[in-house]
Amino acid sequence: MIKKYLFLSYLLILLTFAKQLNGQTKKSKDIQDTSNFSVLRARIIKETKGALRIKIVKEALHKAKISFDTLGMADAYYFLSKLDSHNALHYIDSLITITKKKKYTRYPALGYSQKGNIYYEKGNYKEALEFYLKGSKSAKENKNEPLYLSIKFNIGLLKNTAGERKEAQAIFLEHLNFVDQNPKFKKLNDYGRVLFALTDSYVYDNQLELAKEYIDKGIQQALKTNDAAIYPHFVVYSGVYHYLSKNYKTAIDSLEKGRILIKQVDEVTTRTAICDYYIARSYQDLGDKEKGIHYFKKVDSVLKKTEDVIPEIIDTYTYLIEDSKIKKNVEKQIEYINTLLRLDSIRHSDQIYLTKNINERYDTIELISEKEDLIDQLKQDRFLKEETITILILFLIVLVTIAVFGFLKTYISRGRLLKLLEEHQNKVNNITDQTDQASVITKKEDLDIPKEVIEVVLEKLYQFENLAKFSKKHYTLNSLAKELNTNSAYLSKIINGYKNINFSTYMNNLRVEYAIEQLASNKSLRSYTIKAIAEEVGFKNAQSFSSAFHKKTGIYPSYFIKHIDTYTKKKEG
């Protein structure tokens, strides 16, 4: 949520950039256009009441419509989108529609950027990115470098949120250098937000020396400009820095101070949750477990209320589940597991805000299983009789086993990698003929499908697999059935009966096996991004590819690609 705050406050930069939109051609017209934009903005800022601000802009819109002033209409739609949040998307769509085929310096780029901002605030990061990319392209085509860099900065925030710290840092530094070299675009308060973006990225990238450098710069800048909105966040990050540096008492002091300051300038409770989280971690590391749990519970109360997934603090529930387990409070264990599952389910495939650590430590299936075991236990004996104690002991054994598994994960993954490559090599060295379909048919006699139909479908499936057609098109059960000249009911039964898996798993397994073959034999493919490889073998996106690959092989494709060269060199040696 701190990142959202940074994002919102940074939007003010767009208004500053809008002043500097004169190009090499039609220079006098562009200057006049920018002047009109600035005049309308000045009138809005002068008025303190929201309703009157909207009235001023609507009057300007009406006047622009009468005079067929497209640019004036676009300006009005833009300001209305910022003043009337309920109808923001409607106004921005109108702006984009009337300027899409124009070559204005700031439109439609500014419209795309604003639409991206709206989706960002809704948590729909995939859509936000799409509109940022459109805005970036438009700004670049119309030679609006300040707006182009502003949109790129927002893309940097998305990258930082997704954990792509190095790429985000490069964007932030590029923006900082541009502003330093072009003082006319340097608004002091906005400059502080750029420093904050770098601070945030360096902190979570564990580059503590650089983080400290920008924390100090940010605090100095906030004090210099009397920026009461951004100053508390630098204080908070100072506390996070001290925590990561193991100066726990100093961390607690800074975080407590930052928490108080943030509450004075911002009512959004999720911003205090980060303070509570690192205060809790500090007390935990100081040995005061109970005080730590007290603050973890504060974090829990905020997350339950907002249901806002904050990856950096989501492992709060690791501590709360463990604490309730130690205290034998089964109800609380179930409550915390349910909350964790609910927060995890909020994440959508198009969101880049993913909580990687939770996936690694508490797999969703394991959590569901744990929850069901605990509920059954609670129904059978709410007074912790012998059966309950036994289940709790088994539960602890499972957790210990999971912990041990974590330490062995590297070794196990390596073994799985070697096995995959050896299986691939065996396939290369032992080319087999097509399976005799007649002999297979005799194994299944209860599908209620004519034998000759089964033979034909199996033969076509063999050809489908052999030609790797699954890698060229996103098939559904119905579309594949149509291609094989059969119906979906027959096809589903045959796949379930003869492959012992459902259609979705069947397709995923084919693509994963194909990916392994291609990566093992095609060295150039290994230089592709995971997303590009996923599309190459038939998956819609990188996330579904990684999930299917891990489900089938026990390792992620990134691990496979990273270590395959080493294994290949050893084999050649």
pLDDT of 458 strictly over 90 = yes
Lowest mean pLDDT across 25-29, 32-36, 139-143, 144-148: 25-29
pLDDT of 401 strictly over 70 = no
The confidence score (pLDDT) of residue 361 equals: 32
How confident is the model over 528-552, as pLDDT tens digits?
999 999 898 888 898 998 999 999 8
More confident residue, 136 or 425: 136
Q: How confident is the model at residue 478 (pLDDT cuts 50, 70, 90)?
A: very high
Q: Is residue 519 part of a domain?
A: yes
Question: Could you tell me the two tokens for 153?
Answer: 């900065």
| CATH number of domain containing 540 | 1.10.10.60
Q: Is residue 495 part of a domain?
A: yes
Q: Is residue 4 part of a domain?
A: no
More confident residue, 32 or 113: 113
The confidence score (pLDDT) of residue 80 equals: 85
Other CB atoms closer than 10 Å to residue 148's CB: what's the count? 22
Domain count, the chain: 1
pLDDT of 3 strictly over 60 = no
> What is the C-alpha to C-alpha distance for residues 384 and 390, in angstroms, rounded to an integer?
9
> What is the C-alpha to C-alpha distance for residues 393 and 399, in angstroms, rounded to an integer?
10
Q: How confident is the model at residue 474 (pLDDT cuts 50, 70, 90)?
A: confident
Closest CA to 43 of 74, 79, 94: 79
Residues 6+ apart with CB under 8 A from 168: 156, 157, 159, 160, 197, 201
How confident is the model over 71-95, as pLDDT tens digits?
888 888 888 888 888 888 998 899 8
Are the C-beta atoms of 82 and 46 separated by less than 8 Å?
no
How confident is the model over 296-340, as pLDDT tens digits?
888 888 888 876 666 777 788 888 888 888 888 888 888 888 888
Question: Could you tell me the two tokens for 74?
Answer: 């676009």
> What is the C-alpha to C-alpha distance for residues 317 and 327, in angstroms, rounded to an integer?
15
How confident is the model over 177-212, as pLDDT tens digits?
887 777 766 665 567 778 888 888 888 888 888 888
The pLDDT of 214-227, averaged and rounded, is: 83
> What is the C-alpha to C-alpha distance for residues 573 and 570, in angstroms, rounded to an integer?
5
Q: Which structural domain, as residue segments, surrounds residue 452? A: 443-572
**From start to end of 439-481, where are the E strands?**
none
The confidence score (pLDDT) of residue 438 equals: 40
The confidence score (pLDDT) of residue 353 equals: 39
> What is the C-alpha to C-alpha distance for residues 144 and 314, in angstroms, rounded to an integer?
40
The confidence score (pLDDT) of residue 509 equals: 92
Please return the burial class of 292, using the count of CB atoms within 10 Å of its CB with bins 0-12, 13-18 and 19+. buried
Question: Could you tell me the two tokens for 122?
Answer: 């809704």
Other CB atoms closer than 10 Å to residue 400's CB: what's the count? 10
More confident residue, 242 or 367: 242
Question: Could you tell me the two tokens for 322?
Answer: 């463990």
Site of tokens 């592709």: 528
Q: Is residue 207 part of a domain?
A: no
Q: Is residue 86 part of a domain?
A: no
Q: Is the pTM of this model over 0.75?
A: no
The pLDDT of 554-558, averaged and rounded, is: 88
Other CB atoms closer than 10 Å to residue 226's CB: what's the count? 9
pLDDT of 42 strictly over 60 = yes
Q: Is residue 247 part of a domain?
A: no
State percent of the chain over pLDDT 90. 8
One-letter amino acid at 250 equals T
CA atoms within 13 A on the CB side of 18: 26
The confidence score (pLDDT) of residue 187 equals: 61
Q: Is residue 35 part of a domain?
A: no
Closest CA to 96 of 130, 121, 143: 130
Query: What is the overall mean pLDDT for the chain?
Result: 77
* Residue 511 backbone zone (phi > 0: left; psi -120 to 50: alpha; other: beta): alpha
pLDDT of 169 strictly over 60 = yes
The confidence score (pLDDT) of residue 510 equals: 92
Are the C-beta atoms of 487 and 553 separated by less than 8 Å?
no
The confidence score (pLDDT) of residue 37 equals: 77
How confident is the model over 100-109, as pLDDT tens digits?
888 888 888 8
Q: Is residue 485 part of a domain?
A: yes
